[in-house]
């Protein structure tokens, strides 16, 4: 006889011979702590009391004070009279305690009567064996397939990016030297908007080529403007005396406008240089200060005191990670379904949990208007908070964009599905150590669950963690029959 029961935070898988009056029937009771859906654990401490309750209310108790070995208790039941009854096991221990109803039993008067009543063996659906000892050595759990309300969605690939305007790269505006002795920013350092990150001393060549040249050009432009203004005044006097044609006066005025534009351009360029300078820097001229344009974290820093850098060299990058953009790339066949998507769920490598963004936690920023010619995808962008800072710009994501539709159906965790030669497959529990391998037809995916259109019925338990290990054991041929003794 065998029974598998989930009750009171426990999983009981028990094998035992039929109960016969006066005969000891050892109950091989495998107890698993099934309270954590992220991984069941073997019971390693406690005592078990088996209670046989007859139909008239009379009871007989049989105790196993200690484990036979981790996870296994072996109380011996020796009934004193025949009849129907119920069998209950009570586990008490430091790790976990609970009561499990093993169900109705029959106590036979003789062994011959028990043999005669034994049901014939059925040759039904083939099963795969995965022993308790194997389950306890890996991350393993089961859940029942049950009805759920799922949000309709479309799968897409995505990437986490900084919010527009919340990242910046600071490059050397001129060729120069990074002063020795200055504080050096480092990767991961938090900085404030306006904080000086790098000072750069222009080299003599840079000073002559850039700063001094701009100043000289500005002076020359001002001189040329003064000359052009005097020329216009002289041309106006000569035109009034009819000494020159109007065309010559117009040419003088155009030359003045050009000179004024040149002055304006050089003054703005000189102002740009001066806005980044601070104080005196000795023979090399003023120092350029590169300041952070945003509050954030240094995501790149290549600053070596004393180093000479060329103009345009990237020195520091800063990004504000408190809010991020999730850019999902949706295939053109699914674009119409997500045009008004209210949100999305996504996973990234290295995290067991699923992240989500919706109208409460973030917002949809934009839906692209042009399909990429190479990938045939359209970008859909969501903005979401990142208060813990665990998500990093540049991470790739598996995204489920909600379509706004809801579906009710039997569902199982996505983690229960393994690929078996291209077919989505699950392992459905037959007993504590035996499983049916079933190909399924998946439907809507949402919130880490998958609708099952075919292959699993409501109430059947599927392996939610450890399915891949069971699949490997079948390939290796290590899970045929029980092959163990107690």
pLDDT digits (tens, 9 = 90+) for 348-398: 998 878 898 988 889 999 999 999 999 999 999 999 999 888 999 999 999
Q: Which of 290, 319, 348 is the last residue of a domain?
A: 319
328 and 467 in a single domain? The answer is yes
181 and 299 in a single domain? The answer is yes
Residue 410 covered by a domain: yes
151 and 171 in a single domain? The answer is no
The encoded tokens of residue 150 equal 């799922």
Cα distances (Å, whole numbers) of residue 242 to 193, 234, 237: 62, 12, 9
CB 453 within 8 A of CB 439: no
> Exposed e or buried b for every residue in 115-143, given b needs 16+ CB within 10 A?
eeeeeeeeeeeebbbbbbebbbeeebbbb
**Nearest Cα to 350, choosing from 391, 388, 319?**
391
Residue 27 covered by a domain: yes
Residues 6+ apart with CB under 8 A from 118: 18
Determine the Cα–Cα distance for residues 467 and 464; give it in Å rounded to an integer.
7
Q: Which of 278, 294, 319 is the last residue of a domain?
A: 319
Q: Say which residue the tokens 């119920």 belong to.
A: 86
Determine the Cα–Cα distance for residues 343 and 366; give it in Å rounded to an integer.
12
The reported pLDDT for the residue numbered 213 is: 72
Q: Which of 261, 289, 319 is the last residue of a domain?
A: 319
Dump the DSSP string for 306-372. T-EE-TT-EEEEEE--SEEEEEEEEEGGGGGGGTT---EEEEETT-SS-EEE-TTT-EEEEE-SS--
Q: Which residues of the chain have pLDDT under 70?
A: 122-123, 204-212, 272-286, 476-486
CATH number of the domain bearing residue 226: 2.40.50.100
146 and 70 in a single domain? The answer is no
CB 7 within 8 A of CB 101: yes
Residue 135 covered by a domain: no
432 and 467 in a single domain? The answer is yes
Domains held by the chain: number: 3
420 and 354 in a single domain? The answer is yes
The encoded tokens of residue 428 equal 């459905």
Strand partners, 378: 330
Give this prediction's pTM. 0.65
359 and 269 in a single domain? The answer is no
231 and 255 in a single domain? The answer is yes
Please give the residue range of the domain that contains residue 392. Answer: 142-159+323-476
108 and 220 in a single domain? The answer is no
Beta-strand ranges (E) seen in 186-283 are 190-191, 196-202, 277-278
Determine the Cα–Cα distance for residues 65 and 83; give it in Å rounded to an integer.
27
469 Ramachandran zone, left/alpha/beta (phi>0; psi -120 to 50): alpha
The reported pLDDT for the residue numbered 464 is: 96
CATH number of the domain bearing residue 390: 2.40.30.170
419 and 392 in a single domain? The answer is yes
């Amino acid at each position: 006889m065998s029974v598998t029961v989930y009750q009171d935070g426990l999983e009981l898988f028990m094998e035992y011979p039929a109960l016969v009056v006066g005969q000891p029937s050892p109950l091989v009771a495998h107890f698993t702590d099934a309270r954590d859906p992220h991984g069941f654990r073997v019971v390693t401490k406690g005592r078990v009391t088996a209670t046989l309750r007859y139909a008239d209310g009379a009871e007989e108790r049989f105790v196993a004070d200690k484990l036979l070995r981790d996870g296994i208790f072996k109380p011996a039941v020796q009934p004193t009279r025949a009849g129907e009854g119920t069998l209950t096991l009570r586990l008490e221990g430091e790790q976990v305690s609970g009561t499990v109803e093993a169900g109705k039993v029959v106590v036979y008067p003789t062994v011959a009567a028990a043999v005669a009543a034994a049901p014939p063996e059925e040759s039904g659906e083939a099963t795969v064996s995965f022993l308790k000892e194997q389950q306890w050595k890996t991350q393993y759990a089961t859940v029942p397939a049950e009805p759920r309300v799922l949000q309709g969605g479309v799968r897409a690939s995505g990437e986490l990016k900084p919010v527009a305007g919340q990242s910046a790269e600071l490059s050397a505006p001129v060729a120069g030297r990074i002063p020795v002795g200055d504080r050096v920013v480092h990767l991961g350092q938090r900085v404030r908007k306006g904080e000086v990150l790098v000072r750069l001393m222009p080299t003599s060549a840079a000073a002559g080529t850039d700063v001094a040249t701009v100043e000289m050009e500005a002076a020359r432009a001002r001189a040329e403007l003064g000359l052009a203004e005097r020329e216009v005044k002289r041309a106006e006097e000569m035109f009034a005396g009819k000494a020159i044609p109007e065309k010559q006066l117009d040419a003088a005025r155009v030359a003045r406008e050009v000179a004024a534009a040149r002055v304006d351009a050089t003054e703005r360029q000189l102002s740009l240089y001066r806005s980044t300078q601070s104080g005196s820097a000795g023979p090399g001229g003023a120092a350029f200060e590169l300041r952070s344009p945003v509050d954030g974290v240094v995501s790149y820093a290549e600053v070596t005191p004393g180093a000479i850098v060329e103009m345009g060299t990237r020195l520091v990058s800063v990004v504000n990670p408190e809010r991020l953009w999730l850019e999902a790339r949706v295939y053109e066949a699914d674009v119409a379904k997500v045009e008004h998507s209210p949100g999305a769920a996504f996973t990234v490598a290295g995290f067991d949990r699923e992240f989500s963004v919706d109208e409460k936690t973030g917002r949809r920023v934009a839906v692209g208007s042009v399909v990429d010619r190479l990938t045939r995808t359209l970008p859909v962008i969501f903005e979401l908070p990142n208060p813990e800072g665990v998500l990093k710009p540049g991470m790739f994501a598996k995204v489920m964009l909600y379509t706004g539709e809801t579906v009710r159906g039997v569902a199982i965790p996505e983690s229960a599905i393994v690929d078996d030669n291209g077919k989505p497959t699950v392992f459905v529990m037959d007993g504590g150590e035996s499983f049916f391998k079933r190909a399924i037809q998946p439907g809507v995916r949402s919130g880490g669950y998958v609708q099952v259109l075919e292959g699993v019925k409501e109430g059947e338990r599927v392996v939610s963690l450890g399915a891949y290990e069971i699949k490997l054991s079948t390939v290796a041929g290590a899970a045929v029959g029980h092959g163990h003794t107690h």
